[in-house]
Amino acid sequence: VHVMTKSTVGYSASNPIMEFFYGPRYGQQPRERTVQGYGSGVIISADGYIITNNHVIDEAQEVEVKLNDNRVMTAEIIGRDPNTDLALLKVDATNLPFVRYGDSDALKLGEWVLAVGNPFNLTSTVTAGIVSAKGRNLEIIEGDYRIESFIQTDAALNMGNSGGALVNTKGLLVGITSAIYSPNGAYAGNSFAIPVSIVKKVIDDLKEFGEVQRAFIGVTINEVSSEKARELKLNDMKGVLIVTVNEGGAAESAGLKPDDVILKVGDADVTTVTELQEHVGRYRPGDRITVT
């Protein structure tokens, strides 16, 4: 879908006559103007739930979506999560066509993917590319609890693609297109999508609770450096190094200690900080997990 937003912003207009007679303080007159924005979204259920990026609808006072059959509907913001840049919208409709979730963990480097969105207000534009990398951390999301583990592709994205679908060749949703890396603001060969492994958990929480239920192990972590690997006499540099353990946290009660190296969360191998954050981010407070 095409997501269209409206918001009212204030600004000061200068009145030179008032300023001449009464001074600068009286020369500035408050005004308001309407700002319009646009992006993309993905219908995930027949009853009108729609995923988009948080930055597409952030501070919007009105949100509308335009369907592929040209129907325009008012959308309600069900919830949003700035830490993953995801938001959930709802329109009052039934029997909508919707995309089904795929498995972003199963994506392989070099696999073909398609990006569907509305760049430059061009409805339902499709671009193709291959998966270049997984687990990219760009540090573009603000916040202490941000989770960034982007799928990198070379499918062309431009302004308006944000919130659109990244699908595999079976048409299953594997990511939400979110960002580009560019020296000039236009597409430069690298685009990034939030993997559906993160999307599904966040959207389920927003749908059920209106906010994300985020789990924390209770540690500060870092990559394993070559110096640290030598110091700890590690055979290789795999895993994530625990720097400190929070007092009273789950990690402390489980017996984890500083300089321990986390190799697995559940059955999933973790080799980077980003991968660890992504896997832990799939759980809710109170869940029990095995950490190797």
Catalytic residues: 55, 85, 162
Phi, psi of 58 (to 5 degrees): -60, 130
Taking the CA atoms of residue 12, residue 16, residue 17 and residue 23 in that order, the dihedral angle to the nearest 10 degrees is 80
Give the separation between CA 224 and CA 19, rounded to whole angstroms: 62
Tokens of 3: 């997501």
Going by DSSP bridges, is the β-strand pair 165-168/173-180 parallel, antiparallel, or unpaired?
antiparallel
Nearest to 136 by CA among 127, 147, 144, 145: 147
Query: Which amino acid, residue 180?
Result: I
Q: Determine contact, residues 89/77, Cβ cutoff 8 Å.
A: yes
End-to-end, the C-alpha distance of the chain in Å comes to 42
Give the separation between CA 289 and CA 217, rounded to whole angstroms: 10
Phi, psi of 223 (to 5 degrees): -70, 155
Nearest to 38 by CA among 11, 9, 7, 16: 7
Strand partners, 173: 101, 167
